[in-house]
Structure 1
């Protein structure tokens, strides 16, 4: 070996990489400028407030501030796990979210598949527009509409039931019906918006695959099962992982505007429980402990689901 050989310093390769990276950023400087406001938003409103989780480990007093409040460690979490009311709302949240996952997750996929088979462009656009619109309406507005629509006295459904000789149903005050109402209205509101991702995935499928399968004698259903769904597998897997992570989350706006004391036993969820404890009862530390516990569970679910998905079909978030 030639001992006089000169080798470049180890740091030279990373420096070259950093230089190329800077050149790439400079080449796309206008796109970077568009991206900067989003970065600033997430830093200010999502990362900086993380220090607030310290409240969960302190006996927080508003007058003393976060740093001045007494440190109590895991006392709030111990109280949390010993309360029967917490486990009741946790159970309600998990059950409602599971219903939404089972019935709500496949809904936009099915609608996207149906729209993909429509050949009349004007009708397809009309259905897309109508299905998208509810997503842009707040639950404050929609809850008022549903209260009237499901009313036992003036609601069209109950009027129809009474005309058939049946008794009216108190949909929003009957514990047997309230969860079903939550799931059905949530699907109705977001099914159109959820199809956007899947319709985008459908546009990336090579049309020649359908032409070849048609030549081989495949019908539309066979094309869906053997071409469309396998091609959508990556995006379906990713969206499913996100959906599983939301099993301990809930839509506060929907539940808060539609529930009442008659259905607390089946409709009270973690977000409304945190609202009552934190803002109404001013138990800020306890409410923060509830939120932190929920986020830890959500992250654990995402991590486990991602690991399982990677083993099954090699698709995942990381």
Structure 2
């Protein structure tokens, strides 16, 4: 086993575009659950809509800023359509509705009736929508080495994408931190703890919930853009498992915290890379194939989520007093 190469690969996952994308999605989920107490199990739906909105607009010839605006608009419309009939639900009832809504988005994306628009189950090829983002890069073409890490400057898995991705994560963290300290954020925390008491104070609980759903959904849509830029838009890649990965990341780092989603995403993806890399070397092919090792890595993720819920639901950075799951 090449230990140096292994550690480099694991360390590279700490600031990879996928890590940033899931950190941003978890920040959005943190607005839903950590601040407001909404059990949204459909964050993958917001991510997929953002990815489709960006990719389809770019393929249609729209500039970068307009494609991003379309992705955000898709998330806002989806949040409103989803929120109007469902935000009066609580706990697991809301969870059931949101996971069903995300599945509807995925199945619509897979529909053969929309093949010309979404590519159906084959999705949209990355080369058809990445050019505007790469064209906005201030860097020249070629590779750049920083320490043990060598990546292209402008292609799919590039330094340019990493820079933009983590800048968005930093801005989202700053936004959430400011909102948590604001009167608006305190109302959201009050709704999380006891929405009837907040309603008795004259606050429009439904309006605040809708605002939180829209904001978290927009962050999820931006995360979807970051997720597909190094790859293609494929509906099954942003299905049910994606939502559970985002939940695992949020609970691992700590809900209702500013930096918990970032820490959770880094630990999640670096640990997964470490487990798979070690097993590929240490486990003989006749014992476990590469596909079985891949599946085993996700089994570890599932077990981790179970153990988190049982033994430390507040996560690494969280406070158990801040974690309120209202299942009424």
More helix by share: 1
Higher relative contact order (CA 8 A, sep 6+): 2
TM above 0.5: no
**TM-score, normalisation: structure 1:** 0.32
Q: Over alpha carbons, which structure has the higher Rg?
A: 1
**TM-score, normalisation: structure 2:** 0.31
